[in-house]
Amino acid sequence: MAESIVLAYSGGLDTSVACKWLQEERGYDVVCLTVDLGNLPDVEGAKRRGAEAGAKSVEFTDAREDFLRYFVFPALAANAVYEGQYPLATALGRPLIAKLLVDKAREVGATAVAHGCTGKGNDQVRFDVAIQTLAPDLTIVGTARENEMTRDEAMEYAAKHGISVRTTVESPYSTDENLWGRSVECGVLEDPWAAPPEDAYAWTKPLDRTPERPAHVEITFKEGFPVALDGEELGPVELVQRLSDLGGEHGIGRIDMVEDRLVGIKSREIYEAPAATILIEAHKALEALTLSKLQLRMKERVAQEYADLIYNGLWFSAHHRDLAAYTQSTQRHVSGDVRMRLWRGRAVPEGRRSDESLYSYELATYGSGDQFDQKAAAGFIKLWGLPVQVQAQRQLLREPGDPLHLAAPEE
Ligand code: ARG
C-alpha cells in the first residue's frame, strides 16, 4: 500500500498540479488539507479540482478564531511589525497551518507532509522549521522547490491530467490572504521604481474614492486584546472583519515596501492590512496611557525582536516563549478604550481612556487644581544636569575645536 502525504492545499492551479505530481512522481496517496484563516477558500472549486487531481480526500478546517486568538492577538500585544511596516499576516499564518498539517498527518497515519512554496521565499522556511520541530519523523516535500515547473509547464501538466484550469484570468500577482492582511508580489511589482497598479489592491480604496467624511470607531481592549467595537462585545473574527471592511473603505493599511527576506534577497512587497493598521495604532495609544516610560521603551525593543522571530519562522521556539511571557506580563493593565478617526488612508487615535490610566490630570494641568510641586523641579534639574556640567567644564571646553558650540562667542 502506498504511503500517505498531507498536502497544504489552496485549490488553485499550483497545488492541484502538486497533488497529481505527488502521486505520479513520488507514489504517494494524497490527502489535501485546506485551512481557512479568513481567506474565503472556494470550497466547491477546491473539492472538484482535488478530485480531478486524484486526491484521496479534500478536507477543510476553519481555523479563523484560533488564528486570531493564539497567533495574531499575541503579536498585536507585542506591536510586532517587520522592518517598521509589515504587520506579518502571512508570516503569522504559516506556523498554524504547519501545526494543522501535522495533526492531520497523525490522524490519517501519513508519513509525510507537503507544501507548494517556492525555494526563494520565507514561507518554505516557516513551514519546514515548524513541521520539523513538531514532528521530526515526517518527511517534508516542497513540491515547487522540487519540480521546478514554470507556470506554462504547470498549465500543460494540468491539461494533460484533466485538471480544469480556472476560466477566469489568473492574477498577474502572487497573493496570500488571511484575516490579518493580504500580501501581493511578482509581476510589475518586481520593479521597485514602478508605482503599484491599482489592480494590485483588492481590500482598500484609493484615496480619491474614499468617503468625504471621517468615520470614528471606539475600540475596547482588555489586557491587550481587542474585545469590543463601539461598546459592542465581539468575537475576534467579527471584530477584525468589521475593522478590515471599515478601514478598507477609508483606504487604510496600504503598504508598499522593499523588505529583507530571510533567504538573503530584497523583495518589493505590497500589503493591505486595514484591521492590523487600526488595531496596532489603537493598541499603542492605549499603552502610552497605561504603561510606564520604562515599559514602553523596553517593549519597543522587544517588538522588533518579536517581529523578526515571527518573520524568520521561529514561532515554536523557546525564544518566542520567553518574549511572549514578558509581553503578556506587560499587558495586565492595558485595558480601556481608544477612539480612532479613520479618514483618507489614515487611522489616528483621537481619544483614549482607562480605569488603569497613569495619566494624572492633577499633575499635568496648567490650570487650577495643579498638584505638581514646581519648586521641586529646580533641585531635580540641578542634579540631572550635574554630570553634563562637570564633563563640559573638565573636558569638552578644553578640547580643540568646538563642535557643540559650547564656548562663548568671541567679541
Ligand atoms: N513577503 C511576505 C512574507 O514573507 C509575504 C509572502 C507572501 N506569500 C505569497 N505566496 N505571496 O511574509
Amino acid 411: pLDDT: 67
Closest CA to 31 of 101, 119, 79, 81: 101
Parallel/antiparallel/unpaired status of strands 139-142 and 112-115: parallel
* Nearest-CA residue for atom 11 of ligand 1: 175
Atom of ligand 1 nearest to the CA of 122: 4
Domains 4-169 and 181-352 alike in fold: no
Catalytic site includes residue 123: yes
Which residues make beta-bridge pairs with 6?
A: 31, 113
Amino acid 166: pLDDT: 63
pLDDT digits (tens, 9 = 90+) for 2-44: 999 999 999 888 899 999 999 999 999 999 999 999 987 788 9
Give dist(CA 243, CA 86) in Å, integer.
18
**Is residue 46 pLDDT above 80, yes or no?**
yes
Which residues make beta-bridge pairs with 340?
A: 217, 349
Q: Which CATH number fits domain 4-169: 3.90.1480.20, 2.60.40.420, 3.30.450.40, 3.40.50.620?
A: 3.40.50.620
Amino acid 84 reads G
Q: Is 177 in the pocket of ligand 1 (CB under 6 A)?
A: no
**Contacts for 188 with CB less than 8 Å, ≥ 6 apart:** 172, 194, 196, 197
| Confidence label for 295 from pLDDT (cuts 50, 70 and 90) | very high
Give dist(CA 244, CA 229) in Å, integer.
12
The fold for domain 181-352 equals Argininosuccinate synthetase, chain A, domain 2 (3.90.1260)
From the CB of residue 66, how many other CB atoms can be counted at a distance below 10 Å?
16
Backbone angles phi, psi at 352, to 5 degrees: -145, 145
Per annotation, catalytic residue among 123, 128, 182, 352: 123
Parallel/antiparallel/unpaired status of strands 4-8 and 112-115: parallel
Ligand 1 center from residue 319 Cα (angstroms) = 23
The C-alpha cell at 133 is 520541530
Ligand 1 center from residue 300 Cα (angstroms) = 24
Amino acid 168: pLDDT: 47
Q: Is 174 in the pocket of ligand 1 (CB under 6 A)?
A: yes
Atom of ligand 1 nearest to the CA of 117: 10
Domains of the chain by residue range:
4-169, 181-352
Ligand 1 center from residue 314 Cα (angstroms) = 16
Find the helix packing angle between 274-290 and 293-311, rounded to 10°.
150
pLDDT digits (tens, 9 = 90+) for 332-352: 999 999 999 999 999 999 999
The C-alpha cell at 238 is 467579527
Give dist(CA 277, CA 271) in Å, integer.
11
Q: Is 337 in the pocket of ligand 1 (CB under 6 A)?
A: no
Give dist(CA 320, CA 277) in Å, integer.
23
Catalytic site includes residue 174: yes
